[in-house]
């Protein structure tokens, strides 16, 4: 056995000793998985370890070789209902994002560096307030970025308590960069992390525009970037083989909300009010498109400036449009102020929102008006799963607060990067390979994280409802929300359609 293969065997043994669990994969299966299959119990049988061993052997190649890796192929996106998908009647010339991108470049033969004091992982997120033209004034995402940083810090601390980078007994180090909201500045931060700080992988960020810049630089630097906070559906549609996401996006949450609004509640006329930034604009896109495809086009969409304080113009137009329900996409503070102003204007329509509402701030500002509000949310912190509850306990002990979605997904994302480094060793290309071609979903505090062909999180999303002043989380099954068929429909080619 040569040195590289011996290293592979040792690292695999360390991974097994750490108890990394495996789940049945929905993303890699030939048929779409049910929710039960996606959330199956953990399995740690020898076959799973053999899968990982084979993967490590395949990527153990020379400097001029490309490993022959199987590529995932999905039937559709995130088990979404056929009737909300685009092109459901006509097969397009090419369906992107359903077949995995291959990395055919070099790097897998680069040996580990000899002299290291720590194993560095990069972090980029909005943790300090700034003012910029790009954000339309003062930045507003620090309340999201700070919990995200804490989740990453907790994962690093726990990894070091377990022995750090086990192969060499080195501690992990989190190298922190602030995402200052300046469009394009995040690219500079990725360059600094990749070339000056020499990190092995990067976690971040939240802002959609900055994330898009960052991942394009990560592509050029050839470094794995795990996103745990940007729910923009277009983030993963860049099809960059170095990019991963461990949080359900606005498309998945939007499709669940659509099913609840139309299939469960029976509405036919909804209105939208949203922030005028990228988060609001892209967040409601699937609500808009899905409503139209289901035969109930959104009656009116109104935008407002973040932090405006007065939303009378937008709300009056929605009121005059006689909508049955209102969906808001934006920050918690704006959302609560909009809800209060709605009720003051006599608007009693049910109020629905995005995941940023699910926090104590929204409840505090909205007060009694929050009762009955329903929002999409990418995880369920009340799951009885021991990993979830252990994470919550340890987070509370260290930071004195309950973790929310940005903390939880950053914790999982950082742990996924740590797992990849422990498994593949200090080689950026191999770190990417084991993340991208792992056969089974990762078992995280937020639940199983199965990756799609485009390396997006296909895990279950939830609806949160305010009941007696508390957020109550329920799954699709809990709410008995019907779903449209997910079986591929018979579709004709563009050429046939044109002839007809």
Q: How far apart are CA 476 and CA 473, in angstroms?
A: 10
The better pLDDT of the pair 97, 304 is held by 304
d(CA 139, CA 130): 5
What pLDDT was estimated at residue 129?
A: 79
| Residue 209 tokens, joined | 């525009």
Q: What is the DSSP letter of 194?
A: I
Reported as a single tens digit per residue, the pLDDT across 344-367 is: 999 999 999 999 999 999 999 999
Alpha-carbon dihedral sign for residues 330, 229, 357, 323: positive
Distances 243 to 236, 379, 434 between C-alpha atoms, Å: 7, 21, 13
Residue 452 carries which DSSP code? Answer: -
Structure tokens at 75: 């039937």
Contact yes or no for 22/44 (Cβ under 8 A) = yes
Angle between helices 46-58 and 3-17 (to 10 degrees): 150
Tally of helices (H runs) and strands (E runs) in the chain: 17, 18
Q: Are 363 and 370 within 8 A, CB to CB?
A: yes
Domain extent listing, the chain:
3-248+383-460, 251-377
pLDDT at position 36 is 31
Distance in angstroms (rounded) separating the CA atoms of residues 419 and 417: 5
Domains 3-248+383-460 and 251-377 in one fold: yes
Cα separation, 431 vs 454, whole angstroms: 17
Coil, strand or helix at 297:
coil
Greater pLDDT, 77 or 112: 112
CA pair distance 1, 7, nearest whole angstrom: 10
Task: Give the class (CATH, top level) of 3-248+383-460.
Answer: alpha beta
Residue 7, pLDDT > 70, answer: no
Runs of H (alpha helix) within 89-174? 142-161
The burial class, CB within 10 Å (0-12 / 13-18 / 19+), for 248 is buried
pLDDT at residue 23, rounded to an integer: 27
Instruction: Report the pLDDT value the prediction gives residue 482, as an integer from 0 to 100.
Output: 83
Q: Which of 383, 381, 384, 385 is nearest to 395 (CA)?
A: 381
pLDDT tens, residue by residue, 305-339: 999 999 999 999 999 999 999 999 999 999 999 99
Element (H, E) at 419: helix 405-424
What is residue 186's predicted lDDT score, i.e. its pLDDT?
Answer: 85
pLDDT, tens only, 449-495: 999 999 999 999 999 999 999 999 999 999 999 888 876 544 444 34
Q: What is the pLDDT of residue 373?
A: 98
* Arithmetic mean of pLDDT, 51-56: 94
pLDDT score recorded for residue 308: 93
Residue 108: how many CB atoms within 10 A of its CB? 22
183 CB-near residues (< 8 Å, 6+ apart): 132, 134, 209, 210, 213
pLDDT level of residue 10 (50, 70, 90 thresholds): very low
The rounded distance, in Å, linking the Cα atoms of 377 and 182 is: 28
pLDDT at 441 over 60: yes
DSSP state of 66: -
Q: What is the pLDDT of residues 368-402, one digit of tens each?
A: 999 999 999 999 999 999 999 999 999 999 999 99
Give the pLDDT confidence score for residue 321 in this predicted structure: 97
Give me the helices (H) in 301-404, please: 312-320, 332-344, 360-366, 386-399
- Report pLDDT for 477: 93
Specify the range with the lowest mean pLDDT, choosing from 183-192, 222-231, 425-434, 480-489. Answer: 480-489
Helix (H), strand (E) at residue 449: strand 447-449
pLDDT score at 37: 32
**DSSP for 17-49, written as a single string:** HTT--B---STTSSSPPPHHHHTPPPB--HHHH
What confidence score (pLDDT) does residue 487 get? 62
139 has pLDDT over 90: no
Whether residue 205 has a cis bond before it, omega within 30° of 0: yes
**First-to-last C-alpha distance (Å) of the chain:** 63
The CATH fold assigned to 251-377 is Rossmann fold (3.40.50)
What's the pLDDT at 149?
98
pLDDT at 302: 98
CA dihedral angle for residue 154, residue 158, residue 160, residue 162, rounded to 10 degrees: -170
Rounded mean pLDDT of the chain?
Answer: 87
- In terms of Cα–Cα distance, which of 4, 45, 50 is closest to 23? 45
Cβ atoms < 10 Å from Cβ of 58: 14
pTM of the model as a whole: 0.88
CB count, 10 Å around CB of 42? 17
Distance (Å) of CA 200 to CA 119, 197, 224: 7, 9, 8
Residues counted in the chain: 500
Q: Residue 436 burial by CB count (10 A; 0-12/13-18/19+): exposed, middle or buried? A: buried
Which regions of 237-355 does DSSP assign to beta strands (E)? Answer: 243-245, 270-275, 300-304, 325-329, 351-353
d(CA 111, CA 151): 31
pLDDT tens, position by position, 18-37: 333 322 223 333 333 333 33
In the predicted model, is pLDDT for residue 56 greater than 60? yes
| pLDDT of 188 over the 80 cut | yes
Radius of gyration of the chain (CA): 23
* High-pLDDT (> 90) share of the chain, %: 74
Alpha carbon 200 to chain centroid, angstroms: 21
Whole-number pLDDT of residue 231 = 96
């Amino acid at each position: 056995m040569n040195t590289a293969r011996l290293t592979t065997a040792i690292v695999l043994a360390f991974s097994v000793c750490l108890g990394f669990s495996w789940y049945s994969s929905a993303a890699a299966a030939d048929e779409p998985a049910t929710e039960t299959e996606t959330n199956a119990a953990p399995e740690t049988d020898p076959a799973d370890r053999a899968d990982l061993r084979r993967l490590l052997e395949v990527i153990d190649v020379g400097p001029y070789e490309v490993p022959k890796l199987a590529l995932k192929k999905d039937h559709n996106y995130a088990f979404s209902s056929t009737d909300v998908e685009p092109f459901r009647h006509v097969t397009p010339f090419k369906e992107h994002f359903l077949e995995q991108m291959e990395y055919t470049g070099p790097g897998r033969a680069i040996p580990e560096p000899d002299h290291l004091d720590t194993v560095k992982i990069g972090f980029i997120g909005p943790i300090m307030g700034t003012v910029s033209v790009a954000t339309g004034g003062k930045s507003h995402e620090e309340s999201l970025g700070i919990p995200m940083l804490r989740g990453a810090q907790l994962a690093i601390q726990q990894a070091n308590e377990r022995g750090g980078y086990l192969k060499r007994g080195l501690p992990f180090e989190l190298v922190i960069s602030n995402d200052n909201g300046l469009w394009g500045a995040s690219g500079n931060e990725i360059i600094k992390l990749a070339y000056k700080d020499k990190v092995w992988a990067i976690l971040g960020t939240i802002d959609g525009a900055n994330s898009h810049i960052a991942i394009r630089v990560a592509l050029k630097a050839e470094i794995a970037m795990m996103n745990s906070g940007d729910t923009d559906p277009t983030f993963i549609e860049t099809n960059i083989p170095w990019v991963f996401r461990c949080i359900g996006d606005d498309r998945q949450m939007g499709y669940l909300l659509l099913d609840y609004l139309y299939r469960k509640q029976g509405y036919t006329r909804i209105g939208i009010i949203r922030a005028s930034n990228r988060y609001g604009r892209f967040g409601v896109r699937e609500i808009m498109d899905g409503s139209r495809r289901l035969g109930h086009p959104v009656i009116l969409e109104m935008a407002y400036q973040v932090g405006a304080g007065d939303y009378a113009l937008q709300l009056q137009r929605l009121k005059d449009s006689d909508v049955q329900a209102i969906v808001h996409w934006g920050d918690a503070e704006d959302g609560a102020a909009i809800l209060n102003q709605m009720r003051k204007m006599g608007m009693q329509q049910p109020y629905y929102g995005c995941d940023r509402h699910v926090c104590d701030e929204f409840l505090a500002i909205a007060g009694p008006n929050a009762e009955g509000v329903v929002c999409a949310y990418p995880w369920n912190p009340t799951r009885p799963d021991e990993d979830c509850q252990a994470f919550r306990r340890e987070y509370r002990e260290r930071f004195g607060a309950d973790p929310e979605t940005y903390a939880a997904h950053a914790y999982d994302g950082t742990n996924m990067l740590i797992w990849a480094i422990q498994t593949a060793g200090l080689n950026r290309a191999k770190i990417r390979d084991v993340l991208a071609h792992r056969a089974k979903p990762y078992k995280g505090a937020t639940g199983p994280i199965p990756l799609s062909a485009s390396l997006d999180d296909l895990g279950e999303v939830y609806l949160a409802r305010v009941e007696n002043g508390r957020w109550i989380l329920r799954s699709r099954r809990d709410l008995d929300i019907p779903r449209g068929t997910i079986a591929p429909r018979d579709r004709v080619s563009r050429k046939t359609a044109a002839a007809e």
